Amino acid sequence: MASLAPASFEEARRLAARVPREADAIEYRLDFAPGRISARALLDLDPRCAIVTYRTTREGGKFSGTAEEYRRSVQSAYDAGAVVDVEFESGLLGDEAFLPDRTRVIGSRHGAALSEARLRACLGHRVAAAKLVLTDPDNVAEAVACIARARRLSRETPIACFATGARGAVSRAVGLRYGGALTYGNVAEETAPGQIPVAELVEVYGARDRTPPERLFAVYGGDVTRSLSPAIHNAIFRRRGLPWLYLPLTASRPGAPRESPIAADLIALDGLAKNLQGVSVTNPFKTDYASVARADAQSERIGAANTFVRLRPECLDLSAHNTDAAAVRQGLERLGGSRVLVLGTGGAARAAVAAAVGFGKECVVAGRAPGKAAAIAAAFGIASMRIEDVDQARPDVSINATPLGASDGDRLPFPADALGPGRSIIDFVYRRGAETALVREARERGAKVVDGLEILARQAAGQAALFGVRDATFEEIDATLRSRP
């Protein structure tokens, strides 16, 4: 369903008009409104089921009124004909005289600790459906457990059980396929952390399909909520009629400095149905493959992997591969030039250096950590330089293998005079619906460009082949990416 947070009735009208037709219902989060909005008027905006919610500050919302004011607000919305969200912790649902006809009541509970006993106590109340939300879990296992929990607890009462925050996005994307009663997506601004837009829930994750996927795939990284990889691979699967699903999997918070959570996180997702078949690995885990997978010769040589593939159905035995290097090499083939500067010291940088060296280019690497840059240089037999001196390098091709450009206000990774005619850039970074500042500046100054979407599409074609779709092409994937808003 679509979740809206209008500040006024007029804004509610505008937002309701933008709700995709695939949404079954519309939730109006009236706790966001600074003034009163008539629930009766909201019901006339759209013929679909209208849910009115006053989320209290106790459970992460903005309603700060008294218990009596909360009761009156909920009662008024119900009397108007809306479905109402009533918090179990309010105590109202224990009063059988309150809303004696519970056919339009969703009972909800939001919290950082959702014990089995607490959840079962919630389900002891008579409601049409229950919504049990784990707020901002620390680890993937907690988020995935929400999906399994809905399947286990849902007997007579339909249950939606999911998690919020970046790590909770996976539970929102796949929950309905494993027994969840409903999931919430936004149309404009998020009404809760980690929400996925309604259009993406439907178009990318097939949220209206209640069939569990035969195979699971995922993109794994520090925060993958803005990743376009699910759109790429789910489109590839859909076009070929494959009952597979590709999910966003944001890494757990590490329990100790430099401890990689990757093994535990992938095991947790595989625990859903023992069918995790492939994983795209992104920043900052491309060099952590040894803790979970057996590297092929190329990944071992590069010292980084961006793709894991399951080897055996009976256990999560993975092989590690690198498709970034091939993507960079293809970009270099298009751009030409003989001198290459790689900025960065992570897995993407190692792949870029390997591509340049393997293609016979003169290459130098620079980064914020001089020791790491020197280590990469030594591994590949090239030179390194201080990041402060990159304006003296005068390369034909400058490769940005850092996160610079992903956020508003990031500085340019290269000096402006390195972006003019006769120069070329390759940018690993991409932004949804907009060019990075580096790409925009380079194009305006007359440089040749391989942008982040092109690198993404080229490496994704290699990943698709490893995942079992050998006929997926760069052109198909690039068209998918360029057609997205």
Q: For the segment 244-263, what is each residue's pLDDT rounded down to a tens digit?
A: 999 999 999 987 666 889 99
Place 163 in a pLDDT band, splitting at 50, 70 and 90: very high
Place 153 in a pLDDT band, splitting at 50, 70 and 90: confident
What are the DSSP calls for 13-81, one per residue?
HHHHHTS-TT-SEEEEEGGG-SS---HHHHHTT-SSEEEEE--BGGGTSSB---HHHHHHHHHHHHHTT
Cα 467 from Cα 485, distance rounded (Å): 27
Residue 433 has pLDDT above 90, yes or no: no
Alpha helices in 359-473 (DSSP H): 370-380, 437-445, 452-467
Q: In the prediction, which pLDDT does 485 show?
A: 72
Residue whose pair of structure tokens reads 């590069």 in the numeric block: 302
pLDDT in tens, 86-136: 999 999 999 999 999 999 999 999 998 777 777 788 888 999 999 999 999
Residue 381 has pLDDT above 80, yes or no: yes
Residue 183 has pLDDT above 80, yes or no: yes
- Structural domains in the chain, sorted by start: 2-210 (3.20.20.70), 219-322+459-482 (3.40.50.10860), 335-450 (3.40.50.720)
Q: In the prediction, which pLDDT does 150 show?
A: 80
Average pLDDT over residues 268-276: 96
pLDDT in tens, 355-368: 999 999 999 999 99
pLDDT in tens, 365-375: 999 999 999 99
pLDDT in tens, 4-53: 999 999 999 999 999 999 899 999 999 999 999 999 999 999 999 999 99
Task: Show the tokens assigned to 374.
Answer: 């020197």
Average pLDDT over residues 323-343: 97
The residues that are catalytic are: 286
Strands (E), 213-275: 215-221, 244-250
- Residue 13: C-alpha distances to residues 37, 41, 54, 169, 301 (Å): 11, 10, 19, 28, 58
